[in-house]
């Protein structure tokens, strides 16, 4: 190699950007997908709570957190896709993740048995 070629090669090497610096700016794919998915509804067991005297649904804190339900919100309980009931949400400290406790009178009138499977969602109204 002549001196001119060596100088040109040295200049080209100095002009190339350091790729590791560029890659450090772009987050890895695993970080992009870390956003927590908020569910809109969840299927769970509905149990009667005879101690309730008004249309209230007692919802465990983990389920309320998943669905974005706060204390006092209006919630829908849908049984078999046809029977829809509205309740006021009361958040309880419980680790049961598949059971809510509801006011039984309206459910009994409409033929919904204790321990039925239903869909719980935050009311859209």
| Residue 64 near residue 91, CB atoms below 8 Å | yes
Structural domains in the chain, CATH included, are 41-122 (2.40.40.20)
Q: What is the pLDDT of residue 16?
A: 67
DSSP code at position 9: H
Asked if pLDDT for residue 60 goes beyond 70, the answer is: yes
**Per-residue b or e along 48-61, where b marks 16 or more CB atoms closer than 10 Å to that residue's CB:** beeebeeebbbbbe
Asked if pLDDT for residue 38 goes beyond 90, the answer is: no
Phi, psi (degrees; rounded to nearest 5) at 7: -65, -40
- State pLDDT tens for residues 67-98: 999 999 999 999 988 899 999 999 999 878 89
Q: Which of 104, 101, 75, 77 is nearest to 88 (CA)?
A: 75
Q: What is the pLDDT of residue 90?
A: 94
Q: What is the pLDDT of residue 10?
A: 64
Q: Where are the beta strands (DSSP E) in 20-92?
A: 41-48, 56-60, 74-79, 83-92
26 versus 51: the higher-pLDDT residue is 51
23 versus 110: the higher-pLDDT residue is 110
């Amino acid at each position: 190699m002549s001196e001119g070629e060596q100088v040109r090669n040295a200049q080209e090497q100095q002009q190339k950007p350091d790729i590791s610096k560029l890659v450090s700016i772009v987050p890895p794919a695993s970080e992009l997908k870390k956003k927590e998915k908020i569910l809109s509804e969840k299927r769970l067991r509905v149990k009667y709570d005879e101690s309730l005297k008004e249309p209230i649904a007692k919802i465990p804190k983990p389920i309320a957190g998943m669905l974005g339900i706060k204390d006092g919100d209006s919630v829908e309980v849908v049984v078999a896709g046809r029977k829809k009931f509205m309740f006021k949400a009361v958040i309880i400290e419980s680790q049961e993740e598949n059971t809510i406790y509801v006011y039984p009178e309206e459910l009994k009138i409409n033929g919904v048995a204790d321990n039925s499977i239903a869909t719980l969602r935050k009311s859209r109204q």
